[in-house]
Structure formats: C-alpha cells, structure tokens
A and B are shown apart, each in its own frame.
Chain A
Amino acid sequence: MKILVAVKRVIDYNVQVRVKEDNTGVVTDNVKMSTNPPDDNAIEEAVKIKESGKATEVVAVSVGEEKAQETVRKALAVGADRGILIKAEGILEPLAVSKLLHKIVEKEKPDLVFMGKQAIDDDCNQTGQMLSAMLNWPQATFASKIEIKDKKLEVTREIDEGLETIEINIPAIVTCDLRLNEPRYASLPNIMKAKKKPIEQLNASDLGVDTSPRIEQIKVEEPPKRKAGIKVKSVAELVQKLKNEAKVI
C-alpha cells in the first residue's frame, strides 16, 4: 500500500503574524516557516502505518515556492521515502491545490492520501474534501484515530458533538486532526539521511492546471484592537466589576 501525504509550508505557529503596512497581506520576509502542524500528524500517521508493515511507501508532496522543498525535506527526515515538489508562485487557493494534487494522484496511484485538516495560514479547511470530490473517493475528515482493516479504514472523526466513527473503502482521503498522534522529531542521523532521498520537482504550469485565483483579496487588515483593560486590586473588586460593570455574571 502506498500513502501520499500532502504537506504545506506556513508561518510557524509561534510567530506573531503581522499585517503588511500596505494591507496586501501578512509579512513573510525573514519570518520562521514550518510545516503546517496537522500535516505533521499526517506524516507521522503514514510513517507509523509503514513501520507497522501495512504500507510499503510514503510519498510527501508539497505545492508552493521553491522553499517549500524544506517542508518536503522535513517529511523525509521523519520517515517519508521520497518527495514531490510542485512549484507554483503567488496565492494558491485550495481549489487549485486540489487540482494539482489530483494530477499527482493520477500519476502516483496511491491507496491513501493524508493531509492536515486545515492550514493555519488561510484557515480554509477545504483541500482534502475537494480532492476527494474530484476523485470521487470517500473522505474521512478531522481524523483522530485510523485503523486499517483489510481494504477498509475505520476512522474516528472529531465532530462538534463528540466523536463519529466511519468505515471507508480504500482508496480514500483522510484529513488529520492534532489529536491523531504525537509527531516525532527528526533525529540528526535521519536529517542527514533525508538529504539523500529524492525530491522530484515539477512546475504547476506543466501539469495543465489553471491556478489563477478566483477570489480577489481586496485587503488584509489588523483585527480591531481590544480597548485597554484595567488591573483590579482584589478578587472582590474583580467580582464586583464582572457583576456590575461588565454584567457577565
């Protein structure tokens, strides 16, 4: 069984995101970039499945600028066998990314495609579901537990009401929640080994996909600032303020 894992390069979750002064986007120059956190869970799960003997190959794929190669390389360092980078410039909407991934799925013919449930930059939460629609494959979104049972997967999904368990036939798409597993850190020897693993580079334009945005980003602004609050001197004062001023208790 072959697992394709899609990973995205995003601003590190610990970085305070700043809006550009000209309101065209957020500052990305000289900002620490990392793998989208739930994509780390997706890679971890695929590698664990391979280690259990149920998968033979894990392929990591990313779409983006040249530097997204680092993100693919990181996936290789934690256990993916080889990588694919689809180079594309500018804003890529999930619809375009899904179309590109669709091309890769046609070429690679994986049994499973894993990715994070959502990217923490655009917060769209679309790509897995869109790819699944294009392939007419089953989808298991927000997965917190995956069990492989012959040619089926039993997946526990995180839903607003609690947990839901579904059974899906392979091939399938799974989008991973943070609770799925504990992503490992790459050891130094594995980082060195990853440097020798192959990364195939493709251009989005060569795949015959129109990636031009369908959504015009008119402006990006700072969210409204909160009014400065006050410091209270005692618990009694706090409770009085909450009751009489804020009227929330």
Chain B
Amino acid sequence: MSVLLIAEHNNKELKPFTLNAVTAASQMDTDLHTVIIGNNCGDAAKKLSELPLVKKVIQVEAAHYENFVAENFAPVIVKLAESYSHIVCSANTFGKNLMPRIAASLDTSQVSDIIKVISSDTFLRPIYAGNAFATVKSKDPKKCITIRPTSFDPCESSGGSAPIEKAEPSEEFNSTKFLKREEIKSDRPELGTARVVVSGGRGMQSGDNFKLITSVADKLNAAIGASRAAVDAGYISNDHQVGQTGKVVVPDLYIAIGISGAIQHLAGMKESKVIVAINKDGEAPIFSVADYGLEADLFEAIPQFIEELNKLNTIQK
C-alpha cells in the first residue's frame, strides 16, 4: 500500500494547504509519494521534496499543465495510480474539479471532503453541510479521497530530502482551453482561510450600514462574511455568503452581527473555534452556538466595539 498525494501549487510555490493534505495522506499510509504536475515547477517540486513525511516526488512537466486544467491532469494521475492504493488531494476548487475525473476513470467511488482519517479505508466526513457526520468505509481497491484542509494541521515543511523523479507527460486535451484567471486582489484575507471573519446579516438594514462590518474587519484584519438574508436583500455581493449555499468557514474567531442564525447560516460557520454573536433579539438562534453573546442594538454596540478594539495595543495581524 502506498499513497499518492497530488500537490497543489502555482508553478512557483506550493499552495499552503498542500502541507495540510500531506498530513492527512500520511495518516492513510506512511509510504507517501507526491506528484506535482505543472510547467517549470521545479522550485515547487524541490519544496515538496523537503517535506519530511514525503518519501518520493514525481514531477511531470509540460506547457499544457501551466493552468491546472483537470482534463490534462487526470490522465497522468490515472496512469500513475497503478502503483498506489490511495490517491489524495485537497478538497478545494482544484481538487474538487480534478479528483472525480480521476475516480471515474479508475471506476472508484470517491470519498469527498474528509475531516478525519479513522483507518486506511475508513474516514469521517461531514454531510448536510456539517449538520451530520458520516463514518464511511471505502470498499474500492483503489481509493480516491479529497480532504478538507482546515481539519488537518500543516506538516513539517523542512528537513526532508526525498528523491525527485520525472514522469512522462500525457497528451494535451484539445477541447478545453484556459483563457484567463482573475485573482481577487484584496488586502483582506480570503473568506475561506481567514483567521477572523466578521459577518453581517439582515439586522444591518442596508448595504451602506455594512461599512460598520468593514470597520470591524479592518481592525481585526478579518474577512467579511454575510448571511444569505443580507445577500438576498442586496446589502452585499454573494461571494461573501457564509452558509450551506455559500462558503463553509472555520476561523479562529467568527463575529456574527445582526444575524439571527438560520440553519443554513449556522451550517457554514458553527465549526469556528470562537463564535461571537451581537444581536438585539435575545432569543435569536445564533446565541445557541455563540461562545460570547451580546444582546444589544448593533448600531450602538459596533461603534463601541471599534472603540474598545482601538484601545487594545496588540492586535494580531
């Protein structure tokens, strides 16, 4: 048995979550190999070889791997899969797009988005947006698994020296062409990976009032979230939506302001380490998941909150 982890990178550097995926993969079997597919990705391959948990790096390079098109990646991995019992990748948009294409080619029923490795064939995964946890056992001889990176710690990143082997690229898939990528350039951390998330709900009453959320987020170097109600009311664009139909976030600190706590919102944030709720309705369901609840009119509380934050001299960045 050995595990093949598909590294996520940008041709220059490894994506940070690759380290979390290595931790998860190493819990399935310690004979852990990684494959890096890209174009001029030698530096990233070298970084991969330095991870102490990695026993071997397979590097596959071609111009058509430059933009991570799944139709180009899948055939290489399917070929390499012959020698492995587990194929593993992070369950972010890269892995979600790619892994099922591999699994179908291997006639394997994929196990998506696991949050715990129980044994080499048994895993814990959230279903119904985290409202239930399923323990599942894969009976397929080859297992295709995606892991939720925030549920695993990143592995040690230096000290290893795994050999790097080159493998032959597969042919280009001609029916899919990459055109462009527009990365959202923001000084703010990304909603999915931010340490702190400040979210507003219908209680904000208008899009203009979301400036209060922005001010709190500025103070805490936080990402900005929103409930579906706030998005539907047009207060903020839907890329900020946290919940079952939006993003699932697991920050160290989640601050819900003027959010009642509909089921679909709770599903997206209740795994956060510390939850703060500020709402004038003391009966709001959000208080049932909040570590610290403040029953108050947000339009009075938020300016005070910002003032108090200003008084603190050590705001972590």
A interface residues, Cβ below 8 angstroms from B: 11, 13-17, 19, 26, 37-38, 93-96, 98, 120-134, 137-139, 141-142, 154, 157-169, 172, 178-179, 213-223, 226-227, 229-232, 234-236, 238-239, 241-243, 246, 248-249
Pair A15/B263 contact, Cβ less than 8 Å: yes
Contacts of A165 in B (CB 8 A): 179-182
Which B residues are CB-close (under 8 A) to A220? 127, 132-135
Measured between beta carbons, the chain A residues less than 8 angstroms from B289 are 226, 229
Q: A166-B69, A168-B177, A217-B136 are in contact. Are A179 and B238 (CB under 8 A)?
A: yes
Please report the C-alpha to C-alpha distance between residue A243 and residue B305 in the assembled complex, in whole angstroms. Answer: 13
Chain A residues in 8 Å Cβ range of B104: 95, 98, 129-131, 133-134
Given contact pairs A169-B176, A213-B109, A223-B130, a sample of 8 additional A-B residue pairs in the complex whose CB atoms are under 8 Å apart: A19-B132, A95-B107, A96-B109, A158-B93, A214-B108, A215-B109, A235-B296, A248-B274
Distance, CA A57 to CA B139, complexed state (A):
40
Q: Least Cβ distance of B87 to chain A in Å? A: 14
User: If A124-B112, A161-B181 touch, does A230 touch B238 (CB 8 Å cutoff)?
Assistant: no
| Chain A residues within an 8 Å CB radius of B295 | 231
Q: How many A-B residue pairs have CB under 8 A?
A: 259
Chain A binder among B24-32, B35-43, B95-103: B95-103
B224, chain A: closest CB distance, angstroms: 16
Contact partner of A37 among B173, B181, B245, B311, CB < 8 A?
B245
Measured between alpha carbons, how far is A93 from B108 in the docked complex, in Å?
A: 10
Chain B interface bracket (under 10, 10 to 19, 20 to 34, 35 or more): 35 or more
Given contacts A13-B264, A166-B179, A218-B135, contact A26 B301 (CB under 8 A): no
How many angstroms between the C-alpha atoms of A169 and B137 in the bound complex?
Answer: 38
Q: Does B287 contact A (CB under 8 A)?
A: yes
Query: How near does chain A come to B211, taking the closest CB pair, in angstroms?
Result: 18
| Identity of the chain A residue whose Cβ is nearest the Cβ of B105 in the assembled complex | A133
Contact check, B175 vs A124: say whether CB atoms are below 8 A apart: no
Identify the B interface with A (CB < 8 A): 69-71, 74, 91-94, 96-105, 107-113, 122, 125-140, 173-184, 190, 192, 196, 220, 238-239, 244-246, 252-253, 262-264, 270-271, 273-276, 282, 287, 289-296, 301, 304-305, 308-309, 311-312, 315-316
For the complex formed, measure the closest distance between the CB of A4 and the CB atoms of chain B, giving whole angstroms: 18
Which residues from chain A contact B70 at a C-beta distance below 8 Å?
Answer: 129, 139, 141
State whether B179 touches A125 (Cβ < 8 A).
no
In Å, the complex CA distance between A183 and B178 comes to: 28
Q: What are 28 A-B pairs at a CB distance below 8 A?
A: A38-B245, A95-B103, A121-B128, A126-B99, A132-B101, A133-B102, A133-B104, A141-B96, A159-B181, A160-B190, A160-B192, A162-B182, A169-B174, A178-B246, A214-B109, A214-B140, A216-B137, A217-B134, A219-B134, A220-B127, A221-B132, A221-B133, A221-B135, A226-B291, A230-B293, A231-B294, A232-B293, A249-B315
Contact A139 B97 (CB under 8 A): yes
Q: Given the complex, which residues of A lie within 8 Å of B102, measured CB to CB?
A: 133
Contact of B184 among A37, A162, A235 (CB under 8 A): A162
Specify which chain A residues have a CB less than 8 angstroms from the CB of B238 in the assembled complex: 178-179
Q: Is there an interface contact between B129 and A161, defined as CB atoms closer than 8 Å? A: no
Also in contact, A229 and B109, with CB within 8 A (given A14-B264, A164-B180): no
B109 touches A138 (CB 8 A): no
Q: Is the CB of A216 within 8 A of B134?
A: no
Closest to B186 in A: A162
Chain B residue at minimum C-beta to C-beta distance from A128: B100
Instruction: Give CA–CA (A45, B275) in the complex, Å.
Output: 37
Q: Write the nearest CB–CB distance from B19 to chain A, whole angstroms.
A: 16
- A229-B264 contact given A123-B126, A166-B176, A217-B134, CB 8 Å threshold: no
Q: Which residues of B contact A242 (CB under 8 A)?
A: 253, 274, 276, 292
Chain B positions within 8 Å of A179 at CB level:
238-239
Complex partner residue of B183 from A11, A126, A162, CB under 8 angstroms: A162
Q: Within 8 Å CB of B109, what residues of A?
A: 93-96, 213-215
Whether A246 contacts B291 in the complex (CB less than 8 A), given A126-B112, A161-B184, A213-B109, comes out as yes
A161 touches B183 (CB 8 A): yes
Q: Which residue of B lies closest to A163 (CB)?
A: B182
The distance from the CB of B113 to the nearest CB of chain A, in whole angstroms, is 6
- Taken together as a complex, chains A and B put the C-alpha atoms of A222 and B270 apart, in Å, by 13
Contacting residues, chain B, for A93 (C-beta < 8 A): 109
Q: A15 to B266, alpha carbons, bound, how many Å?
A: 12
What is the bound-complex CA distance between A26 and B109, given in angstroms? 21
* Contact of B110 with A95 in the complex, beta carbons under 8 Å: yes
Residue of A nearest to B262 (CB): A14
Contact B175 A160 (CB under 8 A): no
